[in-house]
Amino acid sequence: MLFGYSFGDLGSILVMQGFAGLILFSVFVLMALGLAIIFGQMGVINMAHGEFMILGAYMTFLSSHLFQTYLPSFFGIYFFVAMIVAFLVSGAAGLATEWLLIRHLYRRPLDTLLATWGLSLIMQQAFRTIFGAREVGVELPSWMMGSLNVSSSIEVQINGLFVMALTLMITGAVALLMFKSRWGLQVRAVVNNRVMSGAVGIDTRRIDRLTFGLGCGIAGVAGSAFTMIGSTSPSAGQLYIVDTFLVVVFGGAQSLLGTIASALAISQSQSTLEFFTSGSNAKVTTLLIVIGLLMLRPQGLFVLKVRK
């Protein structure tokens, strides 16, 4: 079918398709970053990650309502406030989860998987009880919808740009935090050698708690951003988890760079395959390729040498 089109068309499609891939890439990074931080730091898989994202999305929904009711003139910028709220609420929920649940299970990583799955069920039902079983529509400021015309046939989605910018910002902030701050130094020390870090006076418990909170907070921001492109309903978190886990595992657990690289690989292959085949086939093919590669290289793309 490809050859029925004119060259001009093909060129602009190539650009827009590349852009679609980049958006998907940003979405994946945003989804996976929080999970990767937690997994890398503590070896804990947070099965409730999707629900923390939806928590952020519901916070955005609430903020949009509050702004519409009380501060309609500031509605244009509510989204930034909403993201901060989402970060704080999801982060706080994360801290509480760590304190109540995760810290008792550090010696049993597989059990954290089950406990956080239980948590995800509770959160889903809580959303359903509080916000109702139906989807909620999050209204966006009008400047965020629509697209920029670069040329007559190339259009760039504004919300896509927004997600990309957000991803860049958050990834940058996390990288700075990891590699330039004192806290980041401590985190890296704990990842490398937990016992030794404890011995030199790092409060490993505190580091764990903050990391978990940060990871969940980022999930909240991601959820908030996804109200632009997806649905907000009690069980929407489930839509994201498989992709998220695969991105993290494929990237290699303890490497943020790996997460980014695997998000890039998966998103590009999926979006290209989707263009040439169809949605359903593309998904299956991508998942199979990832599983296949994981069998060849089970540690993931990038591996950090860790002394246990």
Partner 1 sequence: MPKKPPTDRHSPFRRKLLLGTAALSATAMLAPSKLFAQAFPTAKVNTTGLAVTDTEVTVGILHSVTGTMAISETGSVEAEKLAIEQINAQGGVLGRKIKFIQEDGASDWPTFAEKAKKLLVNDKCAAVMGCWTSASRKAVLPVFEQYNGMLYYPTFYEGLEQSKNVIYTGQEATQQIIAGLDWVEKEKSAKTFYLLGSDYIWPRTSNKIARKHIEGHLKGCKVVGEEYFPLGHTQFNSVINKIKLTKPDVIYAIIVGGSNVAFYKQLKAAGIDLSKQTLLTISVTEDEIDGIGGENIAGAYACMKYFQSLDNPNNKAFVPAFKKMWGEKTVIGDVTQAAYLGPWLWKLTAEKAGSFDIDKIAAASPGVEFKGAPEGYVRIHENHHLWSKTRVGRAKLDGQYELVYETANLVEPDPFPKGYQ
Partner 2 sequence: MSNSLFGKRSYDVIAFVLLAVLILVVLPLTLDAFRLNLFGKYLTYSFVALGLVLCWGYTGILSLGQGVFFGLGGYCMAMFLKLEASSVANTKIQSTPGIPDFMDWNQITELPFFWRPFHSLTFTLAAIILVPCIMAFVLSFAMFKRRVGGVYFAIITQALSAVMTILIIGQQGYTGGVNGITDLRTLLGWDIRPDHSKVILYFVCCVLLLGCILLGRFVLTSKLGRILVAIRDKEDRVRFSGYDVANFKVFIFCVASAFAAIGGAMFTLQVGFMSPSFVGIVPSIEMVIFCAVGGRQSLVGAVAGALLINYGKTVFSESFPELWLFAMGGLFIAVVLAFPRGLAGLMTDQVMPWVTRMRNGKGGATPSISPSPAE
By CB under 8 A, name the binding residues for partner 1: 5, 9, 13, 16-17, 19-20, 23-24, 27, 125, 128, 132-140, 142, 145-147, 149, 155, 157-160, 226, 228-236, 238-240, 270-271, 274-275, 278-280, 282-283
Q: Is 79 or 194 the residue whose CB approaches partner 2 more closely?
A: 194
Q: Of partner 1, partner 2, none, which one does residue 230 interact with (CB within 5 to 8 Å by kind)? A: partner 1
Q: By the 8 A CB rule, do 41 and 190 touch?
A: yes
- Restricting to residues 226-245, which ones interact with partner 2 according to CB under 8 A? 238, 241-242, 245
256 part of the interface to partner 2, by CB under 8 A: no
Q: Is 140 or 249 the residue whose CB approaches partner 2 more closely?
A: 249
Q: Of partner 2, partner 1, none, which one does residue 119 interact with (CB within 5 to 8 Å by kind)? A: partner 2
- What is d(CA 239, CA 28) in angstroms, rounded to the nearest whole number? 12
128 part of the interface to partner 2, by CB under 8 A: yes
The dihedral of CA 30, 181, 47, 137: what is its sign? negative
Strands (E) located in the chain: 147-149, 155-157
Cα atoms in the Cβ-side hemisphere of radius 13 Å centred on 89: 23
- Restricting to residues 70-99, which ones interact with partner 2 according to CB under 8 A? none
Q: Of partner 1, partner 2, none, which one does residue 108 interact with (CB within 5 to 8 Å by kind)? A: partner 2
Q: By the 8 A CB rule, do 216 and 48 touch?
A: no
Which amino acid makes up residue 266?
Answer: I
- Write down the residue that tokens 């948590």 correspond to: 119
Q: Of partner 1, partner 2, none, which one does residue 169 interact with (CB within 5 to 8 Å by kind)? A: none
1 part of the interface to partner 2, by CB under 8 A: no
Q: Of partner 1, partner 2, none, which one does residue 110 interact with (CB within 5 to 8 Å by kind)? A: partner 2
- What is d(CA 91, CA 29) in angstroms, rounded to the nearest whole number? 18
168 part of the interface to partner 2, by CB under 8 A: no
DSSP 267-288: HHHHHHHHHHS-HHHHHHHHHH
DSSP state for residue 139 in the 8-state scheme: P
Q: By the 8 A CB rule, do 50 and 238 touch?
A: yes
- What is d(CA 31, CA 44) in angstroms, rounded to the nearest whole number? 16
Q: Is 155 helix (H, G, I), strand (E, B) or coil?
A: strand
- What is d(CA 167, CA 162) in angstroms, rounded to the nearest whole number? 9
Q: Is 212 or 245 the residue whose CB approaches partner 1 more closely?
A: 245
Tell me which residues touch partner 2 (CB under 8 A): 39, 43, 45, 101, 104-105, 107-111, 113-115, 117-122, 124-126, 128-129, 238, 241-242, 245-246, 249, 253, 280-281, 283-284, 287-288, 290-291, 294-296, 298-299
